[in-house]
Structure 1
Amino acid sequence: MSSYSISDIKSILERTTFEDINHVINDFRIDERVGVKKLIAQYEKKLQSYYDEINRIEDMKVYERKYYEQYNYICGIDEVGRGPLAGPVVSGAVVLKKDVNILYLNDSKKLSEKKREELYDEIIDKAECYSVGVASVSTIDEINILQSTYESMRNAISGLDVTPEVLLVDAVTIPGVEMPQEGIVKGDAKSVSIAAASIIAKVTRDRMMEEYDKIYPEYGFKRNKGYGTEEHVKALKEFGPCPIHRISFIRNLVD
């Protein structure tokens, strides 16, 4: 193995999948060069992190495993956008395939934008089906944010290509649905299905707010996504509300 330069070995390790990398590491373990030993130690650490992630995701399947004993279609539900001053509330509904593995699923707020975008594509590719439900600003002002959240969740469920047999919901119990459901506090960090729904909802709403930013650039929606940042509140006081502001949320700011 000493016929390989350290650069060659690094290149080989970089091209090797985590599933196969342990065999490659073993091939180079007898190399006594300091640079190779450092490379091996570095990739052993990465490999351990990979195994840790597999175990974390397995732990996040505890609710799914419980219901798979009785059901085939388990749907995770989560919403994004209850707190902003502007824009809709958006819910995601995701039915994952029973044997699917998607690493790094988590509460969407704990993920970088880049990782959310990557996972969004992977979820869409690997899910049995998914759907998004939206409750508009006018609905929020008319029936309040909690009822609008429920409405967006029901809309997401009704848009699925299959009828879910049980719902796993982040924190709440959705009124007006017939199938069994379980509300799980901090479910987007405890259930792979809810985490997937959280990411679908978050990426969808963020993209919507970025489009609104092109129409109403003075409020900085691309940066603040409608939340009440200092920049946003300042613009709101200077320019007044635009059509996507929640009047019921901003009365004390613009009166």
Structure 2
Amino acid sequence: MSAMKRGRRLASLLLAASLGLGSLVGCQSESGKAAFVGDTTISEDRVSEVLDEVLAKTPTQEPEPAVSGSPAPEAELPVTRQEVVDLLVSVELARRVVKEKNMPPAKETTEPGEIADALKVAGDSEYTKLWAEWLDLQTVITENTPRAFLTDEGIMKVYGALAEAGAIQPGLPVAQVREQFGAAVFAEAAILVSTSLGAEVEKTDTKVNPKYDPVSAPMAVGTQQGPIFYDLPYISSDLVTDVSL
């Protein structure tokens, strides 16, 4: 794949990835467990396995030099434990949606190496491979789910997360948000995926260890300055109208 084609591919992936998801309902604290998605348990050991590997393979970013007289800033980790939990839970929910609805596999799969630079992590880490799968699952759900219509409260949840991340102008009224989202491919994709995963959260009675609550889906939106990564709440089914999930 040429560099130009690979760049276009990454841009489209980041656009498709700017989807709305969200915090888990309920919590369950059990020793050694990070989350429960239906009958699937995500253990603390599993979280550590993914996190430790990506940190070992990815150089730590050196912080900016401290101003004279100020304490030296700590090195910034490329991935946090919370981000690993967010990704593992979101991937498991999306896998279930695709399987239950017999959706076809992605027509074009994402290569981890294509997104490693954007994520600023090693391309051969499991974390990056999970991100690649996550992008493909979102694409499959978007392409195979009937169009969803959010209530005003629901659409403002999507908008609020994007505004907080600096991906869209803040302070807009709902009518203007609806007008802008109506012409945005990423916003419609956000609604489709977030409502599908939100319904799966309710169906499976997904739980999360309180120290990771709320869990959100890791998202990205492409901009001229590069991708903006942010966390977006799952959209509950009671915030959706005129949609068949």
Same fold by TM-score, threshold 0.5 exceeded? no
- TM-score, length-normalised on structure 2? 0.23
Name which one, 1 or 2, has greater alpha-carbon Rg: 1
